[in-house]
Structure 1
C-alpha cells in the first residue's frame, strides 16, 4: 500500500472517529435530554479511569461521565465493591442529568482475559443496576469507532497494552501485555519525587507533555519493543493508537521510530474504546 493511500485510509477512519469523540466531549458537559426510546451505555473499566458513554436509539452520544479510580490493576478488577460503587454513582449521575433510567450496558476486557475476568466484569455491571447485553475485548470495541480493515490497533491503557491485528476486516491476532500508563506515572513520580497521584495529575496536563517526553521515553520504548515482538510475524503496515495513555503528546512519533511502522492516533484516544463499547450495546441481555 502506498503512503498516499495509507494516509487516505487513516483520514477516512479518523474523520468518523474524531467527530464521534467531539460529540461525546460536548455531551459530557452538556447532555442531550431527548425522547429516545432506549439508551445504550458503554462501560470502560480502566486502570486509571472508569468511563461511561451513553448513546441514544440512533447510537449518537447524549451523555457521558468519567472518574479517576484504582479498582483495576493490569486489566483485572482488584476492588470489586469499589468498582460497583463508582459505576453505580456514575449511572445515577447520568440518569439525573438525562431524567431517565439507564437499563442496557455493554463492557469490555483486555484481549485474552475473557476466561479470567469476564464473570467479574459482568457482576460489576449488574451490581451497579444495569442489564448487561455484550462483553467484548477492548481493541474490537475500539474498532467499532475506528473501522479499520488492515493494521494493528494498540490500546495503551493504564495497566496494559492490548494489541489486535486485523486483515481484511478480520481479527487474526490478539495479545495483551502488563505495561501502560501506570508505569509512566511511576517513572514520573520517581523522577520528580512526587506521589503516584501527583504524578498522574502532572502527566494528564498537556502543558507538561513536551517536558515529560524524555522522562517517559524509556517506557514508550518498552511499549515499542512489545509491539515489535508481537507484530514481527505479520505484515502490519499501520499502527493505530487508542487508550488514555496515548494522549501523551508525541507518543506516536516515538513508536513509529522504534517500530519502523507508520503510527497514528485520533484527537482524543481516551474516549475511543468506551464509545466503541456503547456502539456494541444492544437490548439482548446476556
Structure 2
C-alpha cells in the first residue's frame, strides 16, 4: 500500500523505543535467548557517544549498551584506539548479559563522508572482533527503523545534521551539514564563559533544559533553515527528527516554526538510528 503523510504515524516506533530504552545498560535482556538463535547487531559511533544495539531475527530489540565518548568529530573517527576500546567494553557487557558471543555487526556513517570514513568504521568493528556485514548512511538506517517509505528524515547528531528525503523507499536527496549538538555546546560555553566539558554537562542536564534552550535556539533555527533549503527542491512529508541532540522539550516547536511545517520526533530519538543500523545485519 502506498504510504501517505496522513497514513504514517510514530505509534509503532514509539512503542518499540519504550520497550528498548529500559534495556540499555540493563542487567538482563528483553527475553531469554533460544539456543543457536541468530542476532543482529548495530554499532553507532557518534560524536558524543557510542551505542551498541542487538535485535532478534524479527527485528525485536533484545539489548542495548551505551557509553559517552569523544572519539568522533564532525562524523569522522578521530580517536581510533579510543573507539575500539569503548566498543570492546560495550560488546563484552552485552555478551555477558546475553550469554552469547557477538560475531557480526553493521555500522553507519553520516551521508557524504566518503569511502574512507566507511573503512575506518569497519576497521573499528573488526578490531572489536566482529565481522562487518554492511556500512550504511545514518538517515537511511533511521528511515528503515521508522518504516518510512516517503518523507524527510533529519538526523541531528553531535557534529552534523543529516537530511535525507525518501520517496517510496528510494533515497532522492541527501545532505549533511556540520551543525549539531557540539555547536550547541560551544554556544553554551561561550555564553557562560566556561569550558566545553562543563557546557556539555550543562546541556545534558534535563533540569537546565528551559534555561539552555533560549541560548541554543539560534543553532536549532539554523538546522531548520538548512532543512528548509533542502526541501525547497525535493519536498517530502512527513518530516521526522531523530538524534540525541534533538532531545529538548521545545526543539520540535522551534524547528517547526522555522521550517514552516509540522515536524514529528519519536520518543528516545537517540536510539532510532542505532536500531535501524542493526536491522541491516543479515
TM-score bin (small chain): over 0.9
Q: Would you say 1:142 and 2:142 are equivalent positions?
A: yes
Deviation (angstroms), 1:30: 4.2
TM-score, normalization by structure 2: 0.93
Relative to structure 2, which stretch is displaced further, 261-270 or 220-229?
A: 220-229
Q: What is the match of residue 117 of structure 2?
A: 117
Q: How far apart, in 1, do the equivalents of 2:87 and 2:171 lie?
A: 30
SS at match of 2:7: helix
Q: What is the match of residue 9 of structure 1?
A: 7
Deviation (angstroms), 1:267: 0.9
Q: How far apart, in 2, do the equivalents of 1:42 and 1:57 lie?
A: 13
Q: What is the match of residue 17 of structure 2?
A: 21
TM-score, normalization by structure 1: 0.92
* Cα-to-partner distance string for 1:10-57 (whole Å, 9 max, x where unaligned): 43xx12211221121122224324225122110000001100011123
Matches within 5 A, 1:25-40: 25-28=21-24, 29-32=26-29, 33-35=32-34, 37-40=37-40
* Cα-to-partner distance string for 1:107-141 (whole Å, 9 max, x where unaligned): 10101123231111110000011111111000110
Higher helix share: 1
Q: Would you say 1:257 and 2:253 are equivalent positions?
A: no
Q: How far apart, in 2, do the equivalents of 1:115 and 1:250 lie?
A: 36
Relative to structure 2, which stretch is displaced further, 85-94 or 57-66?
A: 57-66
Q: CA RMSD in A?
A: 1.5
Deviation (angstroms), 1:58: 2.9
Q: Which runs of 5+ in 2 are unaligned?
A: none
Pair 231,281 (structure 1): closer, same or farther in 2 beyond 3 Å:
same
- Runs in 1 of length 4+ with deviation above 6 angstroms? none
Instruction: Give the conservation status (yes or no) of the 8 Å contact 1:39–1:54.
Output: yes
Relative to structure 2, which stretch is displaced further, 63-72 or 20-29?
A: 20-29
Q: How far apart, in 1, do the equivalents of 2:123 and 2:83 lie?
A: 10
